[in-house]
Amino acid sequence: MSSPNINSIILVGCLLLYATIVIKTLAMTTKALCAVQLFCFWIGFATTFGSMLSKTWRIYKIFTNKQMKRMVIRDKHLLIIIGILVTMETLVLIVWEIYSPHREQQQDAERVTTDTGDKMIAFYRVCVSEHSNYFN
């Protein structure tokens, strides 16, 4: 009764979120990796929490049934809910990438002096978008 199909979708969403971490820790950052990281995170988030939301909604509908009659909400109904959420998120991400694509930018983190007296500048690369405040 735990909906193994929906649990598998939750697992896929978690794997996409994990892939985001792996992509973020790569030594190189390109425009394509910025887009892949963005899509993996948001699609993984929508998939994972959309699945949890749909399962919770089903339990809510069953327990708030006033007539106490048998109510059947099948997995295909939950899959439709998840599909709608993921489709909406994908459309927003596509519009975001078309309107204001991500690019890599180098950020200076700090100036570091090593034990031997050498001076280094530590930096890291981040993905930025000009209009990200409208899409976040």
Specify if 79 maps to a domain: yes
d(CA 129, CA 102): 5
Specify if 122 maps to a domain: no
Q: What is the pTM of this model?
A: 0.78
The C-alpha angle 102, 132, 23, rounded to 5 degrees, equals 45
Specify if 84 maps to a domain: yes
Specify if 61 maps to a domain: yes
Domain count, the chain: 1
Give residue 1's pLDDT: 60
Which tens digits make up the pLDDT trace of 107-130? 667 777 778 888 777 766 777 777
Specify if 90 maps to a domain: yes
DSSP annotation of 114 reads -
Specify if 129 maps to a domain: no
What domain range includes position 58? 4-101
